Amino acid sequence: MRHIGNLPDESSALTFSDYLYVQGIENEVEPASDGSWKVWIHADDKIEAAERYLELFVKNPDNPDYLESARQAGSQRQQKLKEEQAYQEKVYDRDRIFVWYNQFGVLTAILIVISVAVYVFSLFGYEASLRQILSIAPFNDYYILENKPLETALGGEVWRLVTPIFIHFDPLHILFNMLWLKDLGTAIEKRHGPVALALLVLATAMPSNVAQYLFGHHPGFGGFSGVVYGLFGYIWMQTRFNLTSTFRLDKQTVTLMIVWFVLCLTGLAGPIANYAHGVGLAVGMLIGYSSAALSNRQAFK
């Protein structure tokens, strides 16, 4: 989709959207942070025509033709919906047979399965051995950070820089992390693909794990929350700064994530890997903002 401009309020945006629809131009409108409404065009070959229509609409928004188009658009949308419903009742495609595919990205589902499997095995007597294998460094109850804290990982066991993300300590810990991973990971995977998601997971997991280890002074931490905050930071920056992005992130979600971040810093939520949260969020925001700036430069050069 391509953003072609803004209109001052919801009423004018919806009227113009209906007008474009009647002209055969698929589009979407959404509120912008400054109170105006953004206009998005689905097909690139319709952008030039849509921009001309927008210019004419801005000059004379009270033209009665626009109100008539709004009435026509309502009838056309109802008819199209009926036709699509009738078609869907007859067709069993991949998305209908494999309902889970619509709700999970493939890589996202794999990451969730691994995390849940590690947690379940830890309940059946394997917790100590799994933590020794997956933690950023081997440890015991009397572990003290040594002068070369990453010697094990950098000495060949490089998976330890990533695998702490699969360790979870209680049902709520893994439940909330997996729910956020499902939504944020799938959103990224559906738009950019599994390779991009994998790179983003690695790019946020490694620095957040290393930071938690170095500043937390113990390798016995775990959880997907550092990566979750990285994915959130990426989508947040895409939503705010990428003019061509199709990501959607409402204010309530942003507020919830920031409030939880601050609450964890206070210690009221118990022992939390706050360094992992902070570094994961910072890295995700940096990647998201850089990617948004690059996309804008390519789209409008």
Measure the CA–CA gap between 272 and 269, rounded to whole angstroms. 7
**CATH number of the domain residue 61 falls in:** 3.30.70.2350
Which pLDDT score, from 0 to 100, does residue 125 have? 84
Q: Examine residue 95 and state whether it is found in any structural domain, yes or no.
A: no
Which pLDDT score, from 0 to 100, does residue 98 have? 43
In the listed set 90, 120, 143, which residue is the last one of a domain according to the structure? 90
- Tens-level pLDDT at each residue, the chain (301 residues): 899 999 999 999 999 999 998 898 999 999 998 999 999 999 989 999 999 999 999 999 888 888 888 778 877 877 887 877 776 665 545 454 444 456 788 999 999 999 999 999 999 988 888 988 999 988 765 565 555 677 777 778 899 999 999 999 999 999 999 999 999 999 999 999 999 999 999 999 999 999 999 898 888 899 999 999 999 999 999 999 998 888 888 888 899 999 999 998 988 877 889 999 999 999 999 999 999 999 888 876 6
Say whether both 279 and 222 belong to one domain. yes
Q: Examine residue 211 and state whether it is found in any structural domain, yes or no.
A: yes
Say whether both 21 and 45 belong to one domain. yes
Which pLDDT score, from 0 to 100, does residue 83 have? 75
In the listed set 31, 56, 90, which residue is the last one of a domain according to the structure? 90
Say whether both 86 and 128 belong to one domain. no
Say whether both 151 and 254 belong to one domain. yes
Task: Return the half-sphere exposure (C-beta side, CA atoms, 13 A cut-off) of residue 159.
Answer: 7
Q: Examine residue 206 and state whether it is found in any structural domain, yes or no.
A: yes
Range of the domain at 34: 2-90
Sheet holding 2-7, edge to edge: 2-7, 37-41, 27-31
Which pLDDT score, from 0 to 100, does residue 141 have? 58
Which pLDDT score, from 0 to 100, does residue 255 have? 92
Say whether both 108 and 76 belong to one domain. no
Say whether both 49 and 171 belong to one domain. no
Measure the CA–CA gap between 213 and 198, rounded to whole angstroms. 22
Q: How many domains does the chain have?
A: 2
Say whether both 279 and 130 belong to one domain. yes
Measure the CA–CA gap between 52 and 279, rounded to whole angstroms. 45
Say whether both 85 and 118 belong to one domain. no
Measure the CA–CA gap between 264 and 102, rounded to whole angstroms. 33
Q: Examine residue 256 and state whether it is found in any structural domain, yes or no.
A: yes
Distances (CA, A) of 7 to 13, 38, 47, 63, 160: 6, 7, 16, 16, 51
Measure the CA–CA gap between 55 and 59, rounded to whole angstroms. 7
Q: Examine residue 180 and state whether it is found in any structural domain, yes or no.
A: yes
Q: Examine residue 231 and state whether it is found in any structural domain, yes or no.
A: yes
In the listed set 58, 90, 122, which residue is the last one of a domain according to the structure? 90
Say whether both 191 and 234 belong to one domain. yes
Say whether both 160 and 187 belong to one domain. yes
Q: Examine residue 96 and state whether it is found in any structural domain, yes or no.
A: no
Matching residue, tokens 């850089």: 290
Matching residue, tokens 């709700």: 103
Q: Examine residue 147 and state whether it is found in any structural domain, yes or no.
A: yes
Measure the CA–CA gap between 264 and 270, rounded to whole angstroms. 7
**The two structure tokens encoding residue 7:** 């209109």
Say whether both 141 and 19 belong to one domain. no
**CATH number of the domain residue 171 falls in:** 1.20.1540.10
Say whether both 209 and 281 belong to one domain. yes
